[in-house]
Structure 1
Amino acid sequence: MDGEKSLTVEEAVNFVKQYKQESGKTQSAIAKELGISESALSSFLSGTYKTPLTVCDKVTALQKVNEKKRVAPKAPGYVPTTITKTVINAIRYSHIQGKISVVYGDAGVGKTEAVKRYLKDNSLAVGITISPTYASITGVNELLAEQLGVRERVARKITREIIAKLQDSGRVLIVDEAQHLTVRTLNHLRCISDESGVGLALIGNDEVYTKMKGSGRADFAQLFSRIGMRKQVLTTHITKEDTRAVFGQYEVSDDAIDVLYRICRTNYGLRGAVNVFVNTAAVFQEVTDSGVARVMKDMNIGA
């Protein structure tokens, strides 16, 4: 333990019991964290383990790690900003009107946080996140089937059951990272929206809008003409008030807010500013302009 005093057996047992209750983890999961078998942990907790001090050292190490995690600075949670409001309003439009909305633009500006918030606040919203693995019709159907409880396994029947579950449901489909979708899959989602009558909100970077717009050819008309609302969100749309709303809840100097604001409006976006903020707080236990500048240099971030 590098010269640090280990917990006593009684203290270690009490910590494990409290940790299990507060974390909601199973005894098996805690044993895995400690690097011992579940049976060994059971014996330790019951007082029958032959060499309890060896487990005490492991429990002490776990306690210290969790204490560091507890006091470590956290990234700000969801905060209403110019951009998150734009995203949520577009999703709400799709939800109420049963139309397609597209929000596209720069990375790291808060689009995903807005999606998460809408999903949290609206039990009728169905959200999926696309990765290249799920860019096909099959991949999207798999994600939607999981969300909607579809049991069918035959491809065409899966689509029919998805539509049946969505009809008259009052739901809205939210697709994050939609730029990964193929044009064929975008049309598939458009058909699901048309046939079920539910709205569809597509959230992603510029590529998703480019794919939907196409080159003006007739084969893109069905897709592009269905867009009821489109909104572009850029890092340059982030305001000083947005930055203050996100970071002003902490003890952050005005000069530091200015620097974080400048980061927000670069290609690093709000996500980059949050990373700088968290690292500055971790290193200096406070967030000042000089501390932010120091961390920016270490992270090779310019503003």
Structure 2
Amino acid sequence: MIAKGAPAREIRDTKVVREALALAQLVLESENPIGEITGPAGTGKSMAGRAVADKMGALRLAAWDGMTRHQLLVAVAQMLGIEGAGAADRLLRRGDAHERALLVVDEANKCSWRVLETLRYLADESGIAVLLIGTELYSRKFAEARTRPLLIQLGSRIGAKRVSTRHLDRAETYAHVMRPAFGDVADRDIVTSFWQLCRKGNYREAVELAGECRRIMASNAIQSLTPAVLELAGEWMANRHAVGSDA
């Protein structure tokens, strides 16, 4: 759930990653050091968060269902080297005189309003810049009648410091997924079919589709991506979606 110094994952130089890095720098330099990255599942939000952690030395925490305010504070304290009894209280009393640390909170849609309010306090009073990453479920908390009044201060701190992720276009899918996996693919119809099969550029599904194509190619000693390979991999994707919809 907490990632610091974890094994490096491949980070693509996508537009979303570049925007996330620029946003993180803006948040670090802001008087109100809170920003957010939102978007549909599978559009590269977590990869962007890992890029910020890898390239900017940020702390990264993946929230989990039921995470409490105390668990959050203990986790952040540990990442900052604050150990032992009373670590959470010492974090809250850290003050903003320290060099500002950057905390990336992935899966922010799993944070309760109390946890989100605690993150707002850390940004205001404890010298910690915060970058929240979540799906539309996270954004919805700022509009719901029950939670909106409780998150007004957090929303005001975020302001315009936002990035919204999206699916890759066909050229990005080729550059960031297909070419690294298969090398140059001259057949434009194959590129288009691949893009369509991963729901027109869902990054996560594009990576999975490429992996299935490579598995089929290896099993059949095929050296390059062909329409037949892509058709078989597409059937695998369709079955996967069907199983997921039945779950």
Q: TM-score range by the shorter chain?
A: 0.7 to 0.9
Larger radius of gyration: 1
Which structure: greater helix fraction? Answer: 1
Kept in 2: contact 1:276–1:296 (CA 8 A): yes
- Secondary structure of the residue aligned to 1:290 is helix
The CA deviation string for residues 174-228 of structure 1, in whole angstroms up to 9 with x for no partner, is 1011110001110011011000243211001111122234438543321221113
Residue of structure 2 equivalent to 1:225: 156
Task: Say which of 256, 279, 283 aligns to 2:216.
Answer: 283
Q: Which amino acid aligns with 2:26?
A: Y
Kept in 2: contact 1:284–1:291 (CA 8 A): yes
The CA deviation string for residues 124-179 of structure 1, in whole angstroms up to 9 with x for no partner, is x111111115x21022112212211212433xx61432551764223211101111
TM-score by length of 2: 0.78
TM-score by length of 1: 0.65
- Secondary structure of the residue aligned to 2:18 is helix
After TM superposition, list the pairs within 5 Å mapping 1:39-188 onto structure 2: 77-97=10-30, 98-123=32-57, 125-133=58-66, 135-154=67-86, 158-161=88-91, 164=94, 167-188=97-118
How far does residue 297 in structure 1 lie from its aligned partner after superposition? 0.5
Measure the CA separation in 2 of the matches of 1:279 and 1:166: 49
| Distance 1:153-1:213 versus aligned 2 partners, 3 A rule | farther
| Distance 1:283-1:273 versus aligned 2 partners, 3 A rule | same
Q: Which amino acid aligns with 1:277?
A: A
The CA deviation string for residues 22-67 of structure 1, in whole angstroms up to 9 with x for no partner, is xxxxxxxxxxxxxxxxxxxxxxxxxxxxxxxxxxxxxxxxxxxxxx
How far does residue 279 in structure 1 lie from its aligned partner after superposition? 1.2
Q: Does 1:205 align with 2:135?
A: yes
| Distance 1:244-1:299 versus aligned 2 partners, 3 A rule | closer
- Identity value in percent: 22
Structure 2: gaps spanning 5 or more residues: 1-8, 219-223, 242-247
RMSD: 2.5
- Secondary structure of the residue aligned to 1:231 is strand
- Secondary structure of the residue aligned to 2:98 is coil
Kept in 2: contact 1:95–1:172 (CA 8 A): yes
| Distance 1:287-1:200 versus aligned 2 partners, 3 A rule | same
Residue of structure 2 equivalent to 1:295: 233
Q: Which has the higher contact order (CA 8 A, sep 6+)?
A: 2
Residue-pair matches, total: 220
How far does residue 264 in structure 1 lie from its aligned partner after superposition? 4.2
| Distance 1:260-1:167 versus aligned 2 partners, 3 A rule | farther
